[in-house]
Amino acid sequence: MSCHVLLAAGDDGESDAATARSPVRLDHDSSDSEAQRFSPLFSPRATSSTFSEEIDSSVGDESDRDELASLSSLNSPAPSVYSLTESLIQASFRKEFGRDVQNHSEVYHLPADVPEFERLNKQHMMLTWVVGKYPAPLMDVLEDEPQGPQKAVLDLGCGTGAWLGDIAADFPHVDAVGVDLVPPQLTYVPPNVRMEVDDINLGLEHFYGQFDVVNARLISAGIKDYAGLIDQMSRILRPHGLVILSECDFRVYNEDMEPFSLTAPPAATTSAAAASEPPAVARYIGHMRKCIRARGGHVDAASLLHRWVSQHRSFTDVVYRDIYFPLSPFARGDSHEMRRQRKIGFLARDDSLAFMESARPLVLKGGVPEEEADNLLVAARSELMEGRLPCYMRMQCVYARKRT
Ligand SMILES: C[S@@+](CC[C@H](N)C(=O)[O-])C[C@H]1O[C@@H](n2cnc3c(N)ncnc32)[C@H](O)[C@@H]1O
| Residue range 40-61: mean pLDDT, rounded | 30
Give the pocket of ligand 1 (CB within 6 Å). Answer: 105, 108, 120, 124, 157-159, 162-163, 179-182, 199-201, 217-219, 222-223
Atom of ligand 1 nearest to the CA of 223: 19
Cβ atoms 224, 296 nearer than 8 A: yes
**Cα–Cα distance, 342 to 288 (Å, whole number):** 26
Q: Are residues 5 and 127 in the same domain?
A: no
Atom of ligand 1 nearest to the CA of 124: 9
Asked whether residue 90 falls in the same domain as residue 116, the answer is no
Span from the CA of 158 to the centroid of ligand 1 (angstroms) = 6
Give the CATH number for residue 137: 3.40.50.150
Say if pTM beats, i.e. exceeds, 0.75.
yes
Tell me the pLDDT band of 51, cut-offs 50, 70 and 90: very low
**Among the three residues 96, 113, 138, which one is the final residue of a domain in this structure?**
96
Measured from the Cα of 297, ligand 1's closest atom is 16
If asked whether residues 293 and 375 sit together in one domain, one would say: yes
End-to-end Cα, the chain, rounded Å: 42
The residue contributing the CA closest to ligand 1 atom 4 is: 159
Per-residue pLDDT, averaged over 169-177, amounts to 97
Residues 241 and 371 in one domain: yes
By alpha-carbon position, which residue is closest to atom 16 of ligand 1?
222
The answer on pLDDT for 35 being more than 70 is: no
pLDDT in tens, 196-208: 999 999 999 999 9
For residue 27, is pLDDT > 70?
A: no
Query: Which of 131, 154, 179, 181 to mutate for ligand 1's pocket (most ligand atoms within 8 Å of CB)?
Result: 181
Query: For helices 280-295 and 370-386, what crossing angle results, to 10°?
Result: 130
List, for residues 349-382, the tens digit of each pLDDT value.
999 999 999 999 999 999 999 999 999 999 999 9
Residue where one domain finishes, among candidates 71, 96, 121: 96
- Same domain for 159 and 14: no
| pLDDT (tens digit per residue) in 91-124 | 778 999 999 998 889 999 999 999 999 999 999 9
Residues 151 and 286 in one domain: yes
3-state DSSP assignment of residue 319: strand
Question: Ligand 1 centre from 269 Cα, in Å?
Answer: 42
Residue 42's pLDDT band (cuts 50, 70, 90): very low
For residue 216, give the ligand 1 atom closest to its CA: 6
Residue 83 has pLDDT above 60, yes or no: no
Mean pLDDT to the nearest integer, 62-78 = 40
Query: Is the same domain home to 327 and 287?
Result: yes
Q: Is the pLDDT of residue 8 over 70?
A: no
Same domain, yes or no, for 92 and 105?
Answer: no
The pLDDT score that the predictor gives to residue 160 is 94
Pairing of strands 152-156, 175-180: parallel
- Residue nearest (by alpha carbon) to ligand 1 atom 27: 159
Range 250-272 average pLDDT = 79
Q: Is the separation of the CB atoms in 38 and 26 below 8 Å?
A: yes
Inter-CA distances, 41 with 10, 29, 77, 212, Å: 8, 16, 18, 30
Judged against a pLDDT cut of 60, whether residue 315 lies above it is answered with: yes
pLDDT of residue 85: 61
Q: Which of 65, 96, 127 is where one domain is finished? A: 96
Query: What's the domain range around 270?
Result: 101-404
My answer on whether 383 and 275 are in the same domain is yes
Greatest pairwise CA separation for the chain in angstroms: 75
Banded pLDDT at 7 (limits 50, 70, 90): very low
Q: What's the CA-to-centroid distance between 101 and ligand 1, angstroms?
A: 13
Residue 301 C-alpha to ligand 1 middle, in angstroms? 14
Residue owning the nearest CA to atom 15 of ligand 1: 222
| 231 and 349 belong to one structural domain | yes
For residue 404, name the pLDDT band (cuts at 50, 70, 90): confident
User: Ligand 1 atom 1: the closest Cα is on which residue?
Assistant: 218
Work out which ligand 1 atom sits closest to the CA atom of 159. Answer: 27
Ligand 1 pocket test, pick from 99, 108, 110 with the greatest ligand atom count within 8 Å of Cβ, gives 108
Domain count, the chain: 2
d(CA 45, CA 43): 6
- Which ligand 1 atom lies nearest to the CA of residue 155? 6
Q: Are 207 and 236 a contacting pair, CB within 8 Å?
A: yes
For residue 105, which atom of ligand 1 is closest to its CA? Answer: 19
Closest-CA residue, ligand 1 atom 10, reads 219
Of 177, 219, 357, the one to substitute when testing ligand 1's pocket (max ligand atoms within 8 A of C-beta) is 219
30 and 172 part of one domain: no
Strands 175-180, 193-197: pairing is: parallel
Q: How confident is the model at residue 184 (pLDDT cuts 50, 70, 90)?
A: confident
One domain for residues 39 and 132: no
The pLDDT of residue 84 is above 60: no
Site to substitute for ligand 1 among 113, 118, 180, most atoms within 8 A of C-beta: 180
10: CA distance to ligand 1 center in Å? 21
Measure 157 CA to ligand 1 centroid, in angstroms.
3
Arithmetic mean of pLDDT over the chain: 81
Q: Cα(333) to centroid of ligand 1, in Å? A: 36
DSSP per residue, 110-132: S--SHHHHHHHHHHHHHHHHHH-
DSSP one-letter code for 201:
G
Helices (H), 208-279: 226-236, 271-276
